[in-house]
Amino acid sequence: MVNPEIEKRKTFAIISHPDAGKTTLTEKFLLFGGAINTAGAVKRNKANQSSTSDFMEIEKQRGISVATSVMGFEYNGKRINILDTPGHKDFAEDTYRTLSAVDSVILVVDCVKGVEEQTEKLMSVCRMRNTPVIIFVNKMDREGKDAFDLLDEIESKLNISLCPLSWPIGQGHTFKGVYSIYNNHLNLFEPDKKKISTPVIEVNSLDDENLAQFLPEKSLSTLKEELELVEGVYGAVDKEMYLEGLLAPVFFGSAINNFGIKELLDTFVNIAPSPKSREAEERTVLATEKNFSGFVFKIHANLDPNHRDRIAFLRICSGKFERNKFFYHTRNNKKIKFSNPMDFMANEKSIVEEAWPGDVVGLYDSGTFKIGDTLTEGEKLQFKGIPSFSPEIFKEVENRDPLKTKQLEKGLQQLTEEGVAQLFVMQPGNRKVIGAVGDLQFEVIAFRLEHEYGAKAHFRMLSYTRSNWVTSKDPKKLEEFLKRKQQHIGEDKDGNPVYLADNEFMINMTMRDYPDIEFHKTSEFK
Ligand code: G4P
């Protein structure tokens, strides 16, 4: 059954190592879609070198008043939803969760820097769900790596087959343009940050005599040689393999100069998947099913103390979402309706009457939602795909103001529900341990505990650097293990036992000593 509302939706994220050009590319897409008129409208989502207070200031400005978390726009009859991901690596978990809500991804690689650490991590998360990926090699106006070397590096480091759909003519100061292998046309380069279209020359063959007036002899002969090599090495694009996440089409360009962006966007709209199906614990849910279902993948708190509401971002998986209709909150076993659900179009948000699979709606929340919560029309469903990953830094929470114990507890609970970091409870004494990827997370928690909850906390560094969720087919063996290793065991937010270790060596030793125990690097192992 085909539903045109579902078919027209393309929900994706642009991901990259910080500074590769994610924000610039997002902005150019919005310009092409007519969703914004001027460059600079998309707020930079970064705090790379800045202090905590700068970071908080940026967060406050972004807050929930700017809808940069989701940017929707219409293009070529399609509804495009771009889900924004945080630029800072300390908030990588937020990005991982957002990736659970998209149907495909565009990965931006800087041609000078090649594959960077964050790129590898993000790609490994895409691989977990076989998310289709298109790669955009950016900054071709700079002297970067040789295109073939770069593709080799991407292929080996990201462990994915590639298929170039465009090819650069020169690079840096010799950059002349891009030849579109997909459409057989030549796109010449003119640095221009404002213009949104570049002249396109249709060619039937590279032997076309007219080409000489556009390209110097040397560039043309190099292009021909390289294209022959590309054809020999990479072959034709296989859409099925792309949709299965096994093959990534590659485009070259320069986002800041608006170069190569239209080819990328047009091809994306053509080949990227519309919402299909989603795995729930109980069954596979098809997007075309009549009944509504969806899950919360992100909760954004308003950092303005005068407006303490939160917004839960709900990804719709099947059926139709309607305003003021009662839906079933499966974890709370309660029915709720939403009178002001929000839709996000570029930089504006408005009340939405109905929404379809692939859409993201913002729900005002006063503490009803946790990340991963599922809404349905009555069926008991729990969507999979929002795992927690092992944090790398662990710190014990010390209360610095005994009169504010309640506030501290509430703050810790709410902030960890928002996914700012992970909370583990250890015995004896119900000690609270926060696990995070980066130090900035602890600073943000301390800042928010103080400013939003009036509580004061100090974080004491622990020696752990790894956590593994533990299970066993034999409940007795698990019980015995948990008892023996009590000083290393914490309980996660759902009450699952987690083994905390100082290093990989220690985990390996324990694995060897307890062969009946299974160790899991993410919380989603069911
Ligand atoms: P991010 O979201 O991935 O972190 O990257 P962002 O788009 O913010 O881009 C990072 C820097 O790279 C920016 O420079 C941006 O202007 C520049 N950039 C983006 N695309 C290109 C390109 O095609 N060629 C070149 N040469 N540079 C590009 P900045 O100095 O950090 O910021 P700004 O002052 O330019 O805004």
Check if 4-271 and 393-520 are the same fold.
no
Which residue's CA is minimally distant from atom 15 of ligand 1?
21
Which one has a higher pLDDT value, 155 or 258? Answer: 155
User: Is 393-520 assigned to CATH 3.30.70.3280?
Assistant: yes
Mean pLDDT of the chain: 87
Ligand 1 center to residue 136 CA distance, Å? 14
pLDDT bracket for residue 63 (50, 70, 90): very low
138 CB within 6 A, ligand 1: yes
89 CB within 6 A, ligand 1: no
Burial (CB < 10 A; 0-12, 13-18, 19+), residue 40, is exposed
Average pLDDT over residues 276-288: 94
- Output the CA angle 358-385-329, nearest 5 degrees: 70
3 state SS of 254: strand
- pLDDT for residue 55: 55
Residue 18 CA: distances (Å) to CA of 88, 91, 119, 230: 7, 12, 9, 29
| Cβ neighbour number for residue 427 with a 10 Å cutoff | 12
**ω into residue 168 within 30 of 0, thus cis?**
no
Q: Compute the distance between CA of residue 119 and CA of residue 485 in angstroms, rounded to an integer.
A: 36
103 marked as binding residue: no
Beta-carbon contacts of 32 under 8 Å, excluding residues fewer than 6 positions away, are 75, 196, 261, 262, 265
Which one has a higher pLDDT value, 268 or 129? Answer: 268
Q: Compute the distance between CA of residue 169 and CA of residue 180 in angstroms, rounded to an integer.
A: 11
Ligand 1 center to residue 23 CA distance, Å? 8
Average pLDDT over residues 487-502: 94
Burial (CB < 10 A; 0-12, 13-18, 19+), residue 212, is exposed
111 CB within 6 A, ligand 1: no
Q: Are 467 and 499 in contact (CB under 8 A)?
A: yes
139 CB within 6 A, ligand 1: yes
Ligand 1 center to residue 20 CA distance, Å? 7
Q: Are 28 and 266 in contact (CB under 8 A)?
A: no
Which class is 4-271 in CATH? alpha beta
Rg (CA), the chain: 25
- pLDDT for residue 68: 52
- pLDDT for residue 65: 35
Atom of ligand 1 nearest to the CA of 18: 4
On the question of pLDDT at 463 being above 80, the answer is yes
23 CB within 6 A, ligand 1: yes
Which residue's CA is minimally distant from atom 21 of ligand 1?
256
95 marked as binding residue: no
Ligand 1 center to residue 191 CA distance, Å? 14
Burial (CB < 10 A; 0-12, 13-18, 19+), residue 44, is middle
pLDDT bracket for residue 147 (50, 70, 90): very high
On the question of pLDDT at 66 being above 90, the answer is no
On the question of pLDDT at 481 being above 80, the answer is yes
Q: Compute the distance between CA of residue 380 and CA of residue 280 in angstroms, rounded to an integer.
A: 10
Interval 76-92: pLDDT, tens: 999 999 998 876 777 77
pTM reported for the whole predicted model: 0.87
Q: Are 395 and 461 in contact (CB under 8 A)?
A: yes
Mutate to test the pocket of ligand 1, among 15, 16, 22, 24 (most ligand atoms within 8 A of CB): 24
- pLDDT for residue 202: 74
Domain ranges of the chain: 4-271, 278-376, 393-520
Atom of ligand 1 nearest to the CA of 259: 23
Residue linked to tokens 């504006």: 348
Ligand 1 center to residue 21 CA distance, Å? 5
Instruction: Tell me the pairing of strands 466-471 and 497-501.
Output: antiparallel
220 CB within 6 A, ligand 1: no
27 CB within 6 A, ligand 1: no
| In the chain, % of residues over pLDDT 90 | 57
24 CB within 6 A, ligand 1: yes
142 CB within 6 A, ligand 1: yes
20 CB within 6 A, ligand 1: yes
Which one has a higher pLDDT value, 183 or 298? Answer: 298
140 marked as binding residue: yes
Which residue's CA is minimally distant from atom 6 of ligand 1?
21
85 marked as binding residue: yes
Atom of ligand 1 nearest to the CA of 253: 23
Q: Compute the distance between CA of residue 67 and CA of residue 243 in angstroms, rounded to an integer.
A: 29
Across the strands, what pairs with 137?
A: 109, 252
18 marked as binding residue: yes
171 CB within 6 A, ligand 1: no
What fold is seen in the domain 278-376?
A: Rossmann fold (3.40.50)
Task: Mean pLDDT check: name the lowest of 66-75, 148-157, 166-175, 392-401.
Answer: 66-75
